[in-house]
Amino acid sequence: MKVSVTDIIDTSKDLLVLGIFQEDEDMSYEFLNTLFAKELQEALGLGVFKKTYGEVYPTKFAGLGYRRVLVLALGSKDEMSLERVRRLMSKAVSYTKIYKFESFSMNILSLIENTGRFSPEELGRASAEGLYLSNYSFKKYMSIVPENPEKDIQTVTLTWIKDKDNFLKGFEEGKIIAECTNFAKDLVNEPPMLMTPAYMEKVAEEIAENKNIKLRVLDKKDLEEKGFGAILGVSKGSEHPPKLLILEYHGSEEGPVTAIVGKGITFDTGGYNIKPTGSMETMKCDMGGAAAVMAMIKAAAALGLKKKIIGVAPVCENAISGSAYKPGDILIAYNKKSIEVTNTDAEGRLILADALAYVEEKYKPDVIIDLATLTGACVVALGSSISGIVSTNKELQDALQKAGDVSYDRVWPLPLLEEYKDSMKGTISDLKNTAATGYGAGTITAAVFLQNFVTQQKWAHIDIAGPAFLLEGKDYLQKGATGAGVRLLSYYFLRN
Q: Would you count residue 345 as binding Zn ion (CB under 5 A)?
A: yes
Options 84, 169, 226, 275, the catalytic residue = 275
- Identify the residue among 289, 388, 442, 480 touching ligand BES (CB under 6 A): 442
Verify binding: residue 465, ligand BES, rule CB under 6 A. yes
Catalytic residue among 97, 284, 298, 349: 349
H or E stretch at 259: strand 257-262
Binding mask 217-246 for ligand BES (x = CB under 6 A): ------------------------------
Selected range binding Zn ion among 77-85, 338-346, 389-397, 414-422, rule: CB under 5 A: 338-346
67 noted as active-site residue: no
Q: Does 345 bind ligand BES (CB under 6 A)?
A: yes
Question: Minimum CB separation from ligand BES for residue 476, in Å?
Answer: 21
Among 177, 346, 454, 481, binds ligand BES (CB under 6 A): 346
Among 379, 406, 454, 481, binds ligand BES (CB under 6 A): 379
Residue 216: active-site member: no
Closer Cβ to ligand BES, 219 or 430, answer by number: 430
Which listed residue (434, 452, 478, 490) binds ligand BES by CB under 6 A?
A: 434
- x/- map, 115-154, Zn ion, by CB under 5 A: ----------------------------------------
Q: Does 286 bind ligand BES (CB under 6 A)?
A: yes
Q: Is 121 in the site for ligand BES (CB under 6 A)?
A: no
- Which of residues 343, 392, 393, 496 is near ligand BES by CB under 6 A? 343
Which stretch, 264-272, 302-310, 323-331, 333-341, contacts Zn ion (CB under 5 A)? 264-272
Question: Residue 271: which of ligand BES, Zn ion, none does it interact with, CB under 5 to 8 A by kind?
Answer: none
Q: Which residues are catalytic?
A: 275, 349
Task: Enumerate binding residues for Zn ion (CB under 5 A).
Answer: 265, 268, 286, 345, 347-348
Task: Enumerate binding residues for ligand BES (CB under 6 A).
Answer: 268, 286, 343, 345-348, 373-377, 379, 434, 442, 465
